[in-house]
Amino acid sequence: MRPTKNRFKKFVRPRIVSKWFLFIATLMFLLGMPGSFLFSAGYEMRMGDETSAKFGFKMQNWLQSAQDASPDGAHPAANISVKTMRFYIAGRTNSPAQFSANVDWQKGAWDGSAVAKDAATVRDAQVMFDFAPEYKLMTGLFRTPFSRVALQDSFAYVLPHSPDIGGAGYVGDTTDFRNLGWAFTGELSSRKFKYYAGIFDANLNPIGAVADDAASFYSARISLTPAGVEKGYANSGAYLGGGDVFSMGAGYLSGKYKTGVLSPVYTAWTIDAFAERRLYGGTVTGEAAYFNYDRDIPVGKTSGWYILAAYLLPGSNIQPALRYEKSDREGAVVGGEDYRKMSGGVNWYLQGHDSKLQFEYALKDYDTEGTAPRVNRDYADITVAFQIQF
């Protein structure tokens, strides 16, 4: 199993390795070093029949040409970034207690940002009491159960970017679909039906809210998978021929927020569908969703939808993909929420989602074009993403 360690050292600079090795080593010491390591999908440590912990590593590097992202707002900017370098841990202390956590480090700028990032962030940190497949209790920082894309693993996206209309800015304040909260979830009828219901104590900041608003909100979701099975709390953007899948879902979110002296009730709902089927020796993947966001203020409603199609070519690891999305803001508002966006790309899977190369061209066309670069003025980006995980 030595080659796995060598690949890890090859892709990460020594200074970063030493920093994170100390962090992981500390966790291992606290959990109890006496254990056996099984080098499969990360490092696994077992202590008895029930207690175990697994450690792993993921990384996405981006090369990007972002139109109108230069300081003068009139020329493209070339960016090379570590979009996400993640160390994760998951395990159980006994039955039914389970835990998992992701720590992400990011460096660089992307998507036209004028401010470069260089920071480590706790992306997920949750405890789950898995009493039975039908009922589980979660608490901590985790993905908000609202839409399919909110519950989709970003390392299993078909395109490097998630759809803007389903963006995290509509769901919570973490910009990555996560919030602090409690949730009940479970799987019924042989995992064909899932339900989620939770309360979250976070800054629900829809566009127009004040930055320091801190009100609890509620989120719920149900999904039905009549064909195939989607295991676990999160979903994948593509299963790459692992079996035919058809799933439908709906979500609802509600909570108060502040905008000046007003305290309106923000509500959102969505419906979505996902299908994957082997066809003519390859695999076709399709996804679609509709969203409705209501800020409960004049001209505060936004609705939109997206549709995605991809095809894993027969006898190859090449997958072309297209996605179209449309967003409409109520009233004559020049705020960047009336647009059409077309994204097209090609994926080269070297080893499924564990090792892949992605290319994406995205064109965003604002219906009411303003003067602010990338906020309400048309632009196009090219993104090349490299990914590895184990």
Q: Is the pLDDT of residue 35 over 60?
A: no
Query: What's the pTM value of the predicted model, to 2 decimals?
Result: 0.86
Q: How many CB atoms lie within 10 A of CB 358?
A: 23
Higher pLDDT, 273 or 298: 273
- Second-level CATH architecture of 133-389: Beta Barrel (2.40)
Question: Token pair for residue 79?
Answer: 């960016």
> Do 58 and 388 contact (CB within 8 A), yes or no?
yes
Q: 377 pairs with which residues across the strands?
A: 373
- pLDDT class of 29 with cuts at 50, 70, 90: very low
d(CA 329, CA 303): 7
By residue count, the chain amounts to: 390
Looking at the predicted structure, is the pLDDT value of residue 37 above 60? no
pLDDT grade, residue 14 (50/70/90)? very low
Quick one: pLDDT band at residue 33, thresholds 50, 70, 90? very low
Q: Which residue is it, tokens 């979009």?
A: 83
Q: What is the pLDDT of residue 1?
A: 40
Cβ 196 vs Cβ 221: under 8 Å: yes
pLDDT at 214: 61
Q: pLDDT > 70: what percent of the chain?
A: 84
Q: Are 310 and 321 in contact (CB under 8 A)?
A: yes
Distance CA 248, CA 275 (A): 9
Stronger pLDDT, 214 or 275, i.e. the higher one: 275
Write the CB contacts of 231 (distance below 8 Å, at least 6 apart in sequence). Answer: 191
Q: Which long-range contacts (CB under 8 A, 24 or more apart) does 304-308 make?
A: 304/165, 304/328, 305/165, 306/163, 306/165, 306/166, 308/158, 308/159, 308/163
In the numeric block, the tokens 């007003």 are attached to 262
Burial of 239 (0-12, 13-18, 19+ CB in 10 A): buried
* pLDDT tens sequence across 355-386: 999 999 999 999 988 888 998 899 999 999 99
Instruction: Give the pLDDT score at 212.
Output: 62
What torsion do the CA atoms of 374, 375, 378, 379 make, to the nearest 10 degrees? 20
pLDDT of residue 15: 42
pLDDT value, residue 19: 46
Read off the pLDDT of residues 125-173 as tens digits, 9 standing for 90 and up: 999 999 999 999 999 999 999 999 999 999 999 999 999 999 877 886 6
Question: How much is the average pLDDT of 287-295?
Answer: 95
pLDDT score of 191: 84
Q: What is the mean pLDDT of residues 197-208?
A: 77
Tens of pLDDT along 325-351? 999 998 866 668 899 999 999 999 999
Domain ranges of the chain: 133-389
> What is residue 215's predicted lDDT score, i.e. its pLDDT?
75
